[in-house]
Amino acid sequence: MTVMCDGRQAPATLTAEESPIAGELLTPGRAARELGLRSGEFDLAAQLGEILTLPPDPEARPGPGGPWRRRRVPAEEVRRLRAEEGFPGTLRERLRTVGAAEAAELLGVGAGRFLRLARAGCFAPVRFYVNRYGAVVWLYLATELTACADREPELLRGDLPAVLRVVLDGGQDWRGRKWRSRQVARLMGEAADGWESAAVIAAVLPPEELASVVEDPRERSVLRRLRPTLALPGAGPAAREAVERVTTAEEFDEVLWYRVNLSRSLDRARHRQPAADRLRHPTRPGGTSPTGSEDAPFRIPAAPAAPMSPATATAPATATVPIPSLPPLRPPVLARAPRPAPCET
């Protein structure tokens, strides 16, 4: 049985538990059993927004994995999904993931062409795992692949667009970046306050970059406490190194992107709640003021836009957060020597 980076793939076993009561909040494990999903399938469903989850009680005791692992599922959400026509087959089809070989077959292209398209950033991996040889194996959502094929059939036949050829000729590989941006966007959407938002962004920065942006040790302590788990560590040294590589930004422009947005999130967090107060109340986000344009939660875009074909190229969305006095940004440190890329599929 394969163990995924973001959750165990335990066998789905339905038990004779009582049906959930209206208004009841279920643990993720209970909701998964009610829906007949494996734990990894349930995590993916929550990640994709197929299942609504609610943030944990701020007064609850912190548990492993931070607040993201203690979310709850309304009983009504389970009932809604179970009432769908074709359940559970329709839900499982929306959650079906495929590797590179199956993805190429699904799109009707050769394995080599699919790999080139994936490296150029045309598809965003939804998860990954590290096989016994220490290689990263990327998985893609089948429904997203077919939607992309319907939207841009020209990518599947003939010469690749020039912009994609430039990316590939430069040796770039956007698969890890697209996976990171997907995780950051999801976790930013679940963040309860500015400190949790900042912790999400900090989770993908190399340690030396984080120390360069966040000089206050108390603030770094807050970010460490709130840091989400992007992926489970591997079982051996090679697997751990591969997971670290996937979860950490390395390219200059990606690092700079996250540095800028971390500075903005920190500016908002400091305004709402000082770091010392957040340390005294680690599970209690700072108070909020009446809703307004200036108080809307900061949301990071899904990282710099990946190169696309000229027909669909659009400018990346930019965050509009009122920041009266943003401190000057230092250039990225990038002190680490580039590590040789492991074999990936």
Q: What is the pLDDT of residues 73-92, one digit of tens each?
A: 999 999 999 999 999 999 99
The residue to which tokens 């599970």 are assigned: 283
DSSP codes, 158-220? SSPPHHHHHHHHTT---HHHHHHHHHHHHHHHH--SHHHHHHHHHTTS-HHHHHHH---HHHH
Lowest mean pLDDT among 115-119, 161-165, 275-279: 275-279
pLDDT at 264 over 80: yes
Q: Which residue has the higher pLDDT, 234 or 120?
A: 120
Length reported for the chain: 345
Residue 328: Cβ-neighbour burial (10 angstroms; 0-12, 13-18, 19+):
exposed
What distance in Å separates the CA atoms of residue 35 and residue 29, rounded to the nearest whole number? 10
Question: Under a CB-based contact definition with an 8 Å cutoff, are residues 54 and 71 in contact?
Answer: yes
pTM of the model: 0.77
As a whole number, mean pLDDT of residues 218-226 equals 95
- Pairing verdict, β 127-130 and 73-74: unpaired
As a whole number, mean pLDDT of residues 87-99 equals 96
| Dihedral, CA of residue 327, residue 331, residue 336 and residue 340, to nearest 10 | 120
The residue to which tokens 């500015």 are assigned: 194
The residue to which tokens 């841009």 are assigned: 152
As a whole number, mean pLDDT of residues 167-177 equals 96
Residue % of the chain over a pLDDT of 90: 64
State the alpha helices, DSSP H only, in the chain.
28-35, 39-48, 75-82, 89-94, 100-107, 111-119, 142-151, 162-169, 175-190, 194-202, 207-213, 217-226, 237-247, 252-272, 275-280
What distance in Å separates the CA atoms of residue 226 and residue 278, rounded to the nearest whole number? 10
Report the pLDDT value the prediction gives residue 178, as an integer from 0 to 100.
Answer: 97
Beta-carbon contacts of 12 under 8 Å, excluding residues fewer than 6 positions away, are: 32, 33, 36, 37, 38, 41
The 8-class DSSP code of residue 337 comes to P
Lowest mean pLDDT among 45-54, 252-261, 283-292: 283-292
Question: Under a CB-based contact definition with an 8 Å cutoff, are residues 208 and 239 in contact?
Answer: no
Average pLDDT along the chain: 80
Report the pLDDT value the prediction gives residue 147, as an integer from 0 to 100.
Answer: 96
The 8-class DSSP code of residue 23 comes to T
- Pairing verdict, β 127-130 and 97-98: unpaired
